[in-house]
Amino acid sequence: MTVVLGNATTWREIARIGAGESPTLSDKALERVEHAREVVEAIIEQGIRAYGINTGVGALSDTIVDRPSQSRLSRNIILSHACGVGTALQAREVRAIIAAQITNFCHGYSGVRSEVVRLLTTLIARDCIPEVPAKGSAGYLTHNAHTALVLIGEGHAFVDGQRRTGRDALNAIGVSPIVLQAKEGLSLVNGTACATGLSSIGLYRVERLLDWADAVAALTLEAVGCQMTAFAEDVLALRHSAGIAKVGEKLRARLQGSALIAAASGRRTQDALSLRAVPHTHGAAWDIFERCGTVVDQELASVTDNPVVSGTKDNPVVSSEAHAVAPALAQAADALAIAVSQVAAMSERRMDRLVNPLVSGLPPFLASDAGSQSGFMIAQYTAAALSNENRRLAAPASTDGGITSALQEDFLAHPTAAALKLLSIIDNAESILAIELMAAAQAHDYLAHQGTRASGTDVLYQMVRQTVSTYRDNRPLAEDIKMLSKLLATDRPADAGKSNNDHRI
């Protein structure tokens, strides 16, 4: 499928491009891009003082750059700003970042030539993925610079899985490096594309994760014989939250017809909070997810370059502002990171109840021969360790602050750091939920003689058993966790009466 960029692009479309779909440009978007370039040419011709066009950047904003040096300034900005470190971002993350950058240019206020936008589009369409180190961005500059390196034949990129120099990579997809003109170097490193692209991938992954969290919780709730009265529609409606209502409805639907649940009715006055408060914790995460999606869509609809150009070639206007600063985006990613961390922490607590013989009513640690076997004892340690790591990662990046560029940039919102932390938390949360899912399936192995599962949970159990077999201390558990984590990352949880093939993406 093809995604048209330049017409009210959403985070879902950016995520689809990240996942492999190809972008194309609308005619109107290209018209806006070309109009903005005409304005830049007029600014140059008339000698209007403009940041990053005929001046230096950052603390050098008052240093005038003569006309013959303006193209060189653009190239030098790319080379000097490409100073990222650490492991490279994943291909889907780089694709999403580039798609978000193209979207920003398509608003028609940046002033890059249409050749630049077309070449960026070609990189994604031909799956030429710039090598972009993950670390080193206080806001946006380094990630974008490493992408821009490839446009000028520098840096490195991956084509068909092979790492090549920028020039060789372009040659492999049948295009040539470009010579940047005035302002293009600044525009290519500017804006919030990296944080917006990464946040779009984060939202895509969180939506899948929360779907699984609701499903996995249902399998566990059935295994421990939860009291369904806590999830009644009229009871949950007393707390106003679309997320709570959504999770409650999903739990009731998935557990409908369960003989295990029916047998447990009235067994306890009320369940522990890690069971009873699933709609509240998961529901809060769903509510945050929706709000954060709105923030990212708002970012994609916004111009995030500095400076912006407007007016006409006869009356050009250049405006220095702070649209490349994105506190709202940073706060949204931080909020989503906290929400996911909390969902994962509750998953670890439910998993502990499954393996703890003091509260489970099941064999200790779900081992078939406790003593000679440890079962899931240490898997719970792993879940606890990951949950604690999430707690550390969930500390907000948006409040970090910092000073760069000789006091010229004396406030930093850290949206990119917030988005990167979110992605790390999602990685951990997928593993935690995989461990709970594995333990819940094992618990059901011991409950088979006590009653039938609901159709909505049986389909989940079958998904697990199609992936891993019952555990008897007969293999390293790490591989099981890895396979189930992959299941969570690539598939949707099947609904009642459907196979997992109906939900494969």
Given a contact cutoff of 8 angstroms between Cβ atoms, the answer to whether 304 and 192 are in contact is yes
Do 186 and 205 sit in the same domain of this protein?
no
What's the longest Cα–Cα distance across the chain? Answer: 85
| CB-CB neighbours of 474 under 10 Å | 8
Do 218 and 180 sit in the same domain of this protein?
no
Do 211 and 335 sit in the same domain of this protein?
yes
Do 13 and 132 sit in the same domain of this protein?
yes
| CB-CB neighbours of 55 under 10 Å | 19
Q: What is the pLDDT along the chain (505 residues), one digit of tens a residue?
A: 899 998 889 999 999 999 999 999 999 999 999 999 999 999 988 888 888 888 877 667 677 777 777 788 889 999 999 999 999 999 999 999 999 999 999 999 999 999 999 999 999 999 999 999 999 887 678 999 999 999 999 999 999 999 999 999 999 999 999 999 999 999 999 999 999 999 999 999 999 999 999 999 999 999 999 999 999 999 999 999 999 999 999 999 999 999 999 999 999 999 999 999 999 999 999 999 999 999 999 999 999 998 999 999 999 999 988 888 889 999 999 999 999 999 999 999 999 999 999 999 899 999 988 888 999 999 999 999 999 999 999 999 888 877 776 666 776 788 999 999 999 999 999 999 999 999 999 999 999 999 999 999 999 999 999 999 999 999 999 999 999 999 999 999 987 545 444 333 2
Distance CA 228, CA 393 (A): 34
- The CATH code of the domain that includes 174 is 1.10.275.10
Do 143 and 209 sit in the same domain of this protein?
no
- Closest by CA to 80, choosing from 135, 148, 128, 139, is 148
Given a contact cutoff of 8 angstroms between Cβ atoms, the answer to whether 291 and 332 are in contact is yes
**Residue range of the domain that includes 116:** 2-190
Do 87 and 224 sit in the same domain of this protein?
no
Distance CA 494, CA 260 (A): 20
Residues 6+ away with beta carbon under 8 Å from 304: 104, 190, 191, 192, 193, 196, 323, 324, 326
Do 179 and 211 sit in the same domain of this protein?
no
Q: Which of 157, 190, 223 is the last residue of a domain?
A: 190
Residues 6+ away with beta carbon under 8 Å from 344: 386, 387, 390, 425, 428, 429, 432, 433
Do 163 and 252 sit in the same domain of this protein?
no
Global pTM reads 0.94
| CB-CB neighbours of 461 under 10 Å | 19
Map tokens 């001046």 to a residue.
Answer: 55
Do 264 and 120 sit in the same domain of this protein?
no
Do 286 and 372 sit in the same domain of this protein?
yes
- State the virtual CA torsion across 299, 302, 306, 310 in degrees, nearest 10: 170
